[in-house]
Amino acid sequence: MSHLQAGDKAPAFKGLDKDGQKVSLADFKGKTLVLYFYPQDNTPGCTSQACNLRDNLASLTARGIAVVGVSPDDAASHQKFTTTYSLGFPLLADTQHQVIEAYGVWGEKQMYGRKYMGLLRTTFVIDGKGVIRHIFHKPKVKEHAQEILSALEG
């Protein structure tokens, strides 16, 4: 579980998207950033979450909110995932877990009674000054955009 809390300064990050373009926290100065961490491209829950954000991107953008996804998948996987589902936001390839570790979202998971280490699905809402305003530790993948909008309104 992440050691970060609402009110903390968000860790600076830099990464490459599916096209090899640099993306960093500094790119979003003055905007609200939804930085969402997800386990793996093209899996049911991750696809539902990405498509929910895609389908509601206009509503998020209208409120000055940018979206960036992060997973341990490589750029080629992100390219295919983005193309298949027409995602309109960057996905960072964090194969070395630098951003994942900085945000504390790599930890023990359990499936079918088996314990293993993996990415803990988590979303951080970061304001334009780089401060974490909200953390979703277990976002509802099919309702995630509404969760975000509700948290920002509240």
Please say whether the beta carbons of 104 and 3 come within 8 A: yes
Catalytic residue among 46, 60, 70, 141: 46
- In angstroms, rounded to a whole number, what is the distance separating the alpha carbons of residues 4 and 60? 24
Residue 46 among the catalytic residues: yes
Tell me which residue of 109, 126, 150 sits closest to 7, measured CA to CA: 126
E-assigned strands of 2-152? Answer: 14-16, 22-24, 32-37, 65-71, 91-93, 106-111, 114-119, 122-126, 132-136
Please say whether the beta carbons of 81 and 87 come within 8 A: yes
Q: Which contiguous run of DSSP H or E holds residue 128? A: none
Residues carrying an active site annotation = 46
